[in-house]
Each structure stands twice: as structure tokens, then as C-alpha cells.
Amino acid sequence: MQIDRFFHWLGEFLGDALRVVVDALSTLFAGLWVAIDRFFDGLARSLGVNPSLINLIVLIIGVWMLYKGTRALVRRAFVGGIVWLFLGLLVLGWLIR
């Protein structure tokens, strides 16, 4: 009889401990998701575009092109740098309009 109560108590203790860990992680990741969502929403709204996944992917591609153009100019590859900068500005201009 005593051993049954011990295992019952042990099961409740482990269950409560797991519940606390799961709730804490759930709260952490939910807060993180809300922060990421608000960041992208603010970014998209400041650019004047809808905060959709496609628009965010196009934004990342445009910024990547600008980065490639800047890196090319730093390496003194002027033609490639100008082409990358032009393409990046073209993509970002298309997105923002």
C-alpha cells in the first residue's frame, strides 16, 4: 500500500515538472513567434507592401542583390557591381511600387 502511494506521488511530481517545462517552452516560442511576426509586419508596412511570405522572399532577394553589388564594387569589379546593384534596385523598386 505504501509503495503504491510513493509511485503515485512520483508520477504526479514528474508530470507536474514536465508540465512546467512544456508550458515555459511554449510561452517562450509563442513570444518569439509574435516578435518575429510583428517585426516582419512593421518592415512590410514601412515599405508599403503586404506582409506575405512571397513579398518577404522578394525583399530578401533584392537586399541580397544589393549586397552582392556592394561586395563586387569593393573588389573593384565595377561592371559586375553595377549590374548587381541595378538588378537589386530593380527588384526592390518593383516590390515597393
Tens digits of residue pLDDT in 59-84: 999 999 999 999 999 999 899 999 99
Q: Read off the pLDDT band of 1 (50, 70, 90).
A: low
Q: Read off the pLDDT band of 3 (50, 70, 90).
A: confident
Tell me the per-residue pLDDT of 28-46, one tens digit each, with 9 for 90 and over.
Answer: 888 888 888 899 889 888 8
pLDDT, the chain, mean: 90
What is the C-alpha separation between 79 and 72, in angstroms, rounded?
Answer: 9
Which of the 8 DSSP states describes residue 52? Answer: -
| Model pTM score | 0.67
